Structure 1
Amino acid sequence: MAEPLTFYFDFSSPYGYLAAQRIDEIAARHGRNVVWKPYLLGVAFKETGGQPLLEIPVKGDYARHDIERSARQIGVPLVWPQAFPFSGVSASRAYYWLAERDEGAAKALARKLYRAAFGEGRDIAGPEAVATVAAELGHDKDDVRTALKDPAVKERLRREVDDAIQAGAFGSPYILVDGEPFWGHDRLDHIDKWLETGGW
């Protein structure tokens, strides 16, 4: 069985949102699975000296335009959250809590959280907001609230963030294909071709 792709992303990343719409479909065309790995760009930025893209003068204006154009191109809704950028800590903890039990359900939650944030412009930053979105998929809100405070879940996210940075992740999306790194939503077509041809 071929190795899965690793999909690093931050829930506050609109380009991550766009990539999340296509990455599993692209991988499946080539008989591959995808391991989703939410992490925290803010921690990576401390290592790399990076900063939120949309806050960079001139470049941020272009990026906002490009994100909106890219959403139209792939046919997904885009509604900017009122508070942006926002913390992805609670969403990431919820993902890893659920992934321990059911990776498919965790991916479904990640997609739902992304859609709530960037498809509907909703707040997903705090624990209550995340629990509300999870409840829309049938998860018990009290279970989610409890999980977000669980020291083991907190430690899992810390470990995953460290592992992402060790793997070279510095942006979102950051995707590894057999050890080959691809950064950005605009590299998904390259990934598709790489998987088709075995690389170049």
Structure 2
Amino acid sequence: MKHITFYLDFVSPYAWLAYERLPDALEGLSYSVSYKPVLLGALLQQHANPGPAGIAPKRDWTYRHVTWLGHAQGTPLQMPARHPFNPLPLLRQALACSDDGCINRFVAGALLRHVWQGGHDALDAERLRVLAEQLSEQVRPGQDMHSDGPKALLRANTEAAQAAGVFGVPAFEVDGKLFWGLDGLPMLRAYLAGDAWFDGPQWDAVAQVPSGLAPATKG
């Protein structure tokens, strides 16, 4: 049985779509999953990537695209009242339900539905209170979103993701290989199913392709 580490941030609509799609995409295969919350903003900042929301035309396209993708795959998805937003309260709420930095599928789903169903404000105080109540049986003793434990776990998760080469979410790590994005799920399935392509040189060869861009100069 292969083990998948699913890196996610609840601010990402693609993480919600991938969460919903994963069971069907990997149907019939033997695998286990750990859901690992990370701070997407830190991953983007590491590579000076503004993210789709930082480029106005791309922001419009991204929101249009994910809404259509939800329709196409049968996943309810309504843009929250404000986006992007600061996901730290949600990430810390999730990790209040963790001892080791990973959360179970119930917790991941509750947080993702909180953001991506209904078109509400993800950071509304009353909604956050209801969410905390919904997760109360999952929360570790003495922890909440304001505790030091969840903050430390989030920092450790994000730093581990950066060290592993994760540059965005959703990302899936298996056997040291990273698969990125909703559209990476078919490739992930092929690897888990033993596709012989992965035994060849192609996976590593792409890193040896020279760049045709001149290095940036300081001036």
| TM-score band w.r.t. shorter chain | 0.7 to 0.9
| Partner of residue 174, structure 2 | 177
What's the CA shift string for 1:72-93, capped at 9, x where partnerless?
Answer: 1210111111111112212212
| Partner of residue 87, structure 1 | 86
| Partner of residue 29, structure 2 | 30
Gaps of 5+ in 2: 198-219
Q: What's the CA shift for 1:7? A: 0.7
Q: Which amino acid aligns with 1:108?
A: F
Q: Which amino acid aligns with 1:154?
A: K
Q: What's the CA shift for 1:144? A: 9.3
> In the alignment, which of 116, 119, 122 is matched to residue 118 of structure 1?
116
Q: Specify the SS of the correspondent of 2:77.
A: coil
Aligned counterparts of 1:110 and 1:130: Cα–Cα separation in 2: 15
| Closer, same or farther: CA 48–126 of 1 in aligned 2, 3 Å | farther
Aligned counterparts of 2:170 and 2:44: Cα–Cα separation in 1: 14
Q: Specify the SS of the correspondent of 2:65.
A: helix
| Closer, same or farther: CA 180–199 of 1 in aligned 2, 3 Å | farther
Aligned counterparts of 1:33 and 1:127: Cα–Cα separation in 2: 34
What's the CA shift string for 1:142-174, capped at 9, x where partnerless?
Answer: 989952121122111111111111111111111
Aligned counterparts of 2:18 and 2:43: Cα–Cα separation in 1: 19
Aligned-residue CA RMSD in angstroms? 2.7
Aligned counterparts of 2:171 and 2:28: Cα–Cα separation in 1: 20
Equivalences for residues 121-160 of structure 1 within 5 A = 121-125=119-123, 129-137=127-135, 139=136, 147-160=144-157
Q: What's the CA shift for 1:52? A: 2.8
Q: Which amino acid aligns with 1:189?
A: P
Higher helix share: 1
Number of residues of Structure 1 aligned to a counterpart in Structure 2: 196
Aligned counterparts of 2:75 and 2:108: Cα–Cα separation in 1: 16
Tell me if structure 2 keeps the 8 A contact 1:81–1:118: yes
Equivalences for residues 177-196 of structure 1 within 5 A = 177-196=174-193
| Closer, same or farther: CA 127–149 of 1 in aligned 2, 3 Å | farther
Aligned counterparts of 2:2 and 2:133: Cα–Cα separation in 1: 33
Larger Rg: 2
| Closer, same or farther: CA 124–26 of 1 in aligned 2, 3 Å | same
Q: Specify the SS of the correspondent of 1:181.
A: strand
Aligned counterparts of 1:72 and 1:4: Cα–Cα separation in 2: 30
Equivalences for residues 26-105 of structure 1 within 5 A = 26-27=25-26, 29-100=28-99
Tell me if structure 2 keeps the 8 A contact 1:27–1:34: no
Tell me if structure 1 keeps the 8 A contact 2:143–2:149: no
Q: What's the CA shift for 1:24? A: 4.4
Gaps of 5+ in 1: none
Tell me if structure 2 keeps the 8 A contact 1:95–1:107: no
Tell me if structure 1 keeps the 8 A contact 2:99–2:140: no
Identity level (%): 28
TM-score, normalised via structure 1 length: 0.85
TM-score, normalised via structure 2 length: 0.78
Moved more, 90-99 or 162-171: 90-99
Tell me if structure 1 keeps the 8 A contact 2:16–2:116: yes
